[in-house]
Structure 1
Amino acid sequence: MTETSTVDEQPGIPARSQTDVVIAGIKGMITDGRLGPGSRLPIERDLAAELSVSRGSLREGVRALAILGVLETRQGDGTYVTSLDPAQLLSPLGILAELHTPAHAGHLLAVRRVLEAESAALAASGITDDDLGVLDGILDEVDEILTSDPDMDLERFIDTDTAFHRRIAQASGNPALAGMVDSLVGRTHRARLWRAITERGTVRETQAEHRAILAELRAHDPERARIRMAVHILGVEEFATAHADETQVPGEGDLAPA
Structure 2
Amino acid sequence: MAVTDEAILKIKDMILRGELAPGDRLPPEKELSERLGLSRSSLREAVKALEVIRVLDVRRGDGTYVTSLEPRLLLEAMSFVVDLHDDDSILELFAVRRILEPAAAAIAAAHIDAERISLLRDQIAEVDESRPVEELVAHDIEFHATIVEAAGNSYLTTLIESLSGHTIRARVWRGLTQENATARTLSEHSAIVDALEAGDGKLAEALMIAHISGIEHWLRRWSTSGPQAGHPDV
Give the TM-score normalised by structure 2. 0.89
| 1:94 to 1:32, Cα distance in 2 relative to 1, 3 A | same
Distance (Å, rounded) in 2 between the aligned partners of 1:79 and 1:130: 42
3-state SS of 2:152 partner: coil
Q: List per-residue Cα deviations over 1:110-154 (Å, max 9, x = no partner).
A: 111111111111111212333323322312222xxx2xx4x4312
Q: Is the 8 A contact 1:45 1:55 kept in 2?
A: yes
Question: What residue identity is the alignment partner of 2:173?
Answer: L
Question: What residue identity is the alignment partner of 2:137?
Answer: I
Q: Is the 8 A contact 2:76 2:162 kept in 1?
A: yes
Specify the alignment match of 2:4 in structure 1. Answer: 19
- Percent identity of equivalent pairs: 37
3-state SS of 2:186 partner: helix
3-state SS of 2:38 partner: coil
1:73 CA drift (Å): 0.8
Aligned length: 229
Specify the alignment match of 2:201 in structure 1. Answer: 222
Specify the alignment match of 1:154 in structure 2. Answer: 133
CA-atom RMSD in angstroms: 2.0
User: Which is greater in Rg?
Assistant: 1
Which runs of no fewer than 5 residues in structure 2 stay unpaired? none
Question: What residue identity is the alignment partner of 2:205?
Answer: R
Q: Is the 8 A contact 2:148 2:157 kept in 1?
A: yes
Distance (Å, rounded) in 1 between the aligned partners of 2:120 and 2:69: 27
Which runs of no fewer than 5 residues in structure 1 stay unpaired? 1-15, 253-258
Distance (Å, rounded) in 1 between the aligned partners of 2:171 and 2:215: 8
Q: Is the 8 A contact 2:133 2:170 kept in 1?
A: no
Specify the alignment match of 1:90 in structure 2. Answer: 75
Distance (Å, rounded) in 2 between the aligned partners of 1:38 and 1:127: 33
Specify the alignment match of 2:187 in structure 1. Answer: 208
Q: Is the 8 A contact 2:222 2:232 kept in 1?
A: no
For residue 130 of structure 1, the aligned residue among 105, 115, 130 is 115
Give the TM-score normalised by structure 1. 0.81
Distance (Å, rounded) in 2 between the aligned partners of 1:222 and 1:138: 21
Distance (Å, rounded) in 1 between the aligned partners of 2:161 and 2:221: 25
Distance (Å, rounded) in 1 between the aligned partners of 2:174 and 2:133: 10
Distance (Å, rounded) in 2 between the aligned partners of 1:50 and 1:86: 29
